[in-house]
Structure 1
Amino acid sequence: MAQEKKISSKYIYFFGSFGGILFGYDIGVMTGALPFLKNDWSLTNASVIGWITSAVMFGAIFGGSVAGQLSDKFGRKKMILVSAVIFAIFSLLSMISPNNGALYLIIIRILLGLAVGAASALVPAYMSEMAPANARGSLSGLNQTMITSGMLLSYIMDFLLKGLPEAWGWRVMLGCAAIPAVILFLGVLKLPESPRFLIKNGQPDEARQVLSYIRKDDSEIEAEIKGIEIAFTKETKVAEKTAWATLFSGKYRYLVIAGVGVATFQQFQGANAIFYYIPLIVAKATGNSASSALLWPVIQGVILVLGSLLYIVIAEKFKRRTLLMLGGTVMGLSFILPSLLNLMIANMNPITIVVFLCIYVAFYSFTWAPLTWVIVGEMFPLAVRGRASGLASSMNWVGSWAVGLVFPIMTAAMAQEAVFAIFGVICLAGVLFVHYCVPETQGHTLEEIEEAGMNHGKNKD
């Protein structure tokens, strides 16, 4: 039978994480498009610039939440397909924005954000449910590699297209986002559904077949099937009554706060201020035009991709908490030190801040960037996984939207060094949060994480 044809595990993991390309491309594309759009439409209002840039993230707040719930009902695969279609349509609609149509572009990008947010919630959930426990960190890290590859691709496209007339350059940059969306749709058509979703919906034989594609032997498959069924049986009655309030009930509270907290801190730490506005940051620091600074995003993109590949290599060699605390500490100092140096050294070389931003990006790329989505994918109990993943994704996008919106407003009102110092303090607060509130999950099955978290919740009650 056609549906019994074996699917390569490499194919499953590649296209299972390919949704990150959409996420990454749209994070990065406005970085290069914005200088041309500003000139084409003569944009000077910082609030309008912030809204155009952050509109996708505003839509993603709702896309992540809705997708998490719908994926529990219809499956991870179907919702990824829907996200790809929405992404392709609204990328093309962005390209044909009417001249000086700021409101139109903002609305279209908000709707586009629904698909971006959905992908950010669905891909980590799918990958964590497909990956074996001893490789879940590195395989889930593929999502981050895809995100950073999408960002680098958008930066390269922006750089290559910078010679086009201003009125066309930014349009082509935005419209090209439809290409990876079409590739994702075609690739996901062949993917199997998540085995945990299949068992949850009374299809253990289909789940067993899916696991045969990605596990080594029958004993491993049967042990995993049994573990999923036991966990699901325990949660069935609760799941039927699951509401938003359930997420913060006693036995779930600990794990939900940990996962949602990490997802929230990741964005409020200010990474996307760099990714969205690096040409404008360099222009303000050096006095050169933003359109002449489009090589800097490419450099940042290369750092991000190399960091994501480094993470895949070291994912199972270091504890999750260790990497998060190391990364957060260096990231915080990378933001705070330029402000201190600027106070102590007269006429400090303006490129110094850009060098420190590169250090920030390097450590972010193999710590908070990939680990946030690994933790979101593995932290939440089955009964609340869809809603909790959606909430974590939405809070992540709240931070992304807020940073994208207020950064140009803040830099118009105060020195860039002071703005980054504020983000640096938030980075260090994130380190404290991880130390006190986030459990270690490396090497544990999803069911073991769930049991430990629920026992912790009971002990706190």
Structure 2
Amino acid sequence: MMKEKKVSSRFIYFFGAFGGILFGYDIGVMTGALPFLQQDWNLESAAVIGWVTSAIMLGAIFGGALSGQLSDRLGRKKMILISAVVFVIGSVLSGIAPPNGHIFLIVVRIFLGMAVGAASALVPAYMSEMAPAHLRGRLSGINQTMIVSGMLLSYIVDYLLSGFSTTMAWRSMLTMAAVPAIILFIGVLKLPESPRFLIKNNKLDEAQKVLSYIRPAEKIESEIKQIQEMAEREKIANQQTSWGSLFTGKYRYLVIAGVGVAAFQQFQGANAIFYYIPLIVEKATGNAASSALLWPIIQGVILVLGSLLFIAIADKFKRRTLLTLGGTVMGLSFILPAILNILIPNANPMMIVVFLSIYVAFYSFTWAPLTWVIVGEIFPLMIRGRASGLASSFNWLGSFLVGLLFPIMTASMSQEAVFAIFGVICLLGVLFIRVRVPETRGYTLEEIEKFGESKQLKRTGA
């Protein structure tokens, strides 16, 4: 029997949100550390730079996939605690990497990435299972805000630590990622287990007790019954479907739409900016990347403001309209610098950074949050677990490849040319939205499922 005293819903939502901050912090911290690491280890190999940066996303691909299965066995709370411990260990090991220990750091960051991938899947799942139904729609936007707030926090900490010696700067930046992980661990220790997990494991008394913390007494029994019915439907779905079911005629259309949106979000190149903005500024201006750490903060502020804008407008515009607007401006922001560079060879080199800021602004309130809104809405119940996992894996794969390949590409061609390639991918993403993705705002999950069966694209116009 559970012994927790009543836990306030605010406490639960705060530490649920704090998981997003931790996730964002660890994604962003290498942005400021990399220029100092390059100086300290005399890193000139574009491939090594790419691997050190992107290793965390490689680990996340596996962490996200494993966490879903393990959390069904061990519980959401226990898996978040395990992820926090891995965060702490991985952060400390990163900070004490042996001199010129490229392989050591890459392996440690793959290990750390498993926790990042797990947190990215577990925290929103825990939050949605604890929150009442009328708040679940906002959680995607709030979680996005917390992730980008974590990124901004990491950029600020990097900037504040940049006054240390070259060696101490990057080591302290990477080690400091342990601090929010420790805070998360302490907070989650006091949280109750998800009632959904307890009910699925026949711990009905404990589930009632948890729900009594966060629901009015008169709603507890009906919610327990609803969770039991949904668990039974999911069990039947898992028995009747397989990975092959995702690509049968009945589901193929919606699976391609959801997985495609998740993949395009990363292949459009946003993470090239977030991971490498100091190096981009260095290449554009000739100044040392370690002196360009204000730029990540600027990008972080734009991301946070954009995520807040999305929360304000999310339900006022169609999903396809926002994705079309965002993708078009993002594509032009990448392509125009290449055109202007040809027309005006002596143009100010910082022009590209201004265009990148425009890209980040539009990405922050369109593709960044809407991808996960669509992934949450578009898959029918019978395939939702597998299809969501596949979409997440493709998203992390795109993030990994962009992080790995960007320094290699810029070593062999101009930055403008590399971003122009990403710009073309952005415009292809818009075309994909217009042709392959149905509108989901305002439709029930059952109606969206019928779109997949009938492919009635006439009803999907933005």
Do the two structures share a fold, i.e. TM-score over 0.5? yes
Distance 1:89 1:16 in 2: 21
Structure 1 residue 60: Cα displacement: 0.9
Distance 1:430 1:186 in 2: 42
Map residues 195-210 of structure 1 onto 2, 5 A cutoff. Answer: 195-203=195-203, 206-207=206-207, 210=210
Residue 458 of structure 2 corresponds to none
User: CA 1:458/1:205 → structure 2, altered by over 3 Å: closer, same or farther?
Assistant: farther
Residue 60 of structure 2 corresponds to 60
Answer yes or no: is the 8 Å Cα contact 1:134–1:316 preserved in 2.
no
Q: Are 1:31 and 2:34 counterparts?
A: no
Distance 1:188 1:126 in 2: 11
Give TM-score, length-normalised by structure 2: 0.90
Structure 1 residue 41: Cα displacement: 0.5
Q: Are 1:437 and 2:432 counterparts?
A: no
Distance 1:378 1:117 in 2: 21
User: Comparing both chains, which one has the higher relative contact order based on Cα–Cα distances under 8 Å and sequence gaps of 6 or more?
Assistant: 1
Letter in 2 for 1:30: M
Cα deviations by residue, 1:421-455 (Å, 9 ceiling, x for unpaired): 111111122223233333444466xxx42x33444
Cα deviations by residue, 1:36-64 (Å, 9 ceiling, x for unpaired): 11110111111111111111111111111
Distance 2:213 2:253 in 1: 34
Structure 1 residue 89: Cα displacement: 0.6
Distance 1:238 1:115 in 2: 28
Distance 2:336 2:130 in 1: 42
Answer yes or no: is the 8 Å Cα contact 2:4–2:190 preserved in 1.
no
Structure 1 residue 205: Cα displacement: 5.8
Map residues 232-381 of structure 1 onto 2, 5 A cutoff. Answer: 232-240=231-239, 242-381=241-380
Answer yes or no: is the 8 Å Cα contact 1:91–1:177 preserved in 2.
yes
Answer yes or no: is the 8 Å Cα contact 2:379–2:449 preserved in 1.
no
Secondary structure of 1:109's partner?
A: helix
Cα deviations by residue, 1:246-283 (Å, 9 ceiling, x for unpaired): 44345544443333222211111100000110011011
Answer yes or no: is the 8 Å Cα contact 1:55–1:401 preserved in 2.
yes
Distance 1:18 1:44 in 2: 36
Q: Are 1:452 and 2:447 counterparts?
A: yes
Map residues 20-419 of structure 1 onto 2, 5 A cutoff. Answer: 20-203=20-203, 206-207=206-207, 210-211=210-211, 213-214=213-214, 218=218, 225-240=224-239, 242-382=241-381, 384-419=383-418
Residue 17 of structure 2 corresponds to 17
Letter in 2 for 1:38: Q
Letter in 1 for 2:370: L
User: CA 1:58/1:89 → structure 2, altered by over 3 Å: closer, same or farther?
Assistant: same
Distance 1:7 1:375 in 2: 32
Distance 1:177 1:404 in 2: 20
Bigger mean CA offset, 27-36 vs 135-144? 135-144
Distance 1:102 1:59 in 2: 16
Bigger mean CA offset, 271-280 vs 72-81? 72-81
Between the aligned residues of both structures, percent identity stands at: 73
Bigger mean CA offset, 401-410 vs 121-130? 121-130
Bigger mean CA offset, 416-425 vs 388-397? 388-397
Cα deviations by residue, 1:75-117 (Å, 9 ceiling, x for unpaired): 3322222111111111111111000111111111111111111
Bigger mean CA offset, 421-430 vs 200-209? 200-209
Answer yes or no: is the 8 Å Cα contact 1:20–1:150 preserved in 2.
yes
Distance 1:402 1:243 in 2: 28
User: CA 1:226/1:314 → structure 2, altered by over 3 Å: closer, same or farther?
Assistant: farther
Structure 1 residue 119: Cα displacement: 1.2
Please provide the CA RMSD for this pair: 2.6
Distance 1:53 1:133 in 2: 38
Structure 1 residue 207: Cα displacement: 4.8
Cα deviations by residue, 1:384-410 (Å, 9 ceiling, x for unpaired): 444433322221111111001110111
Give TM-score, length-normalised by structure 1: 0.90
Distance 1:441 1:226 in 2: 27
User: CA 1:388/1:231 → structure 2, altered by over 3 Å: closer, same or farther?
Assistant: same
Answer yes or no: is the 8 Å Cα contact 1:121–1:389 preserved in 2.
no
Secondary structure of 2:164's partner?
A: coil
Answer yes or no: is the 8 Å Cα contact 1:134–1:443 preserved in 2.
no
User: CA 1:260/1:184 → structure 2, altered by over 3 Å: closer, same or farther?
Assistant: farther
Instruction: Count the aligned residue pairs.
Output: 455
Answer yes or no: is the 8 Å Cα contact 2:124–2:139 preserved in 1.
no
Distance 2:158 2:259 in 1: 33
Secondary structure of 2:273's partner?
A: helix
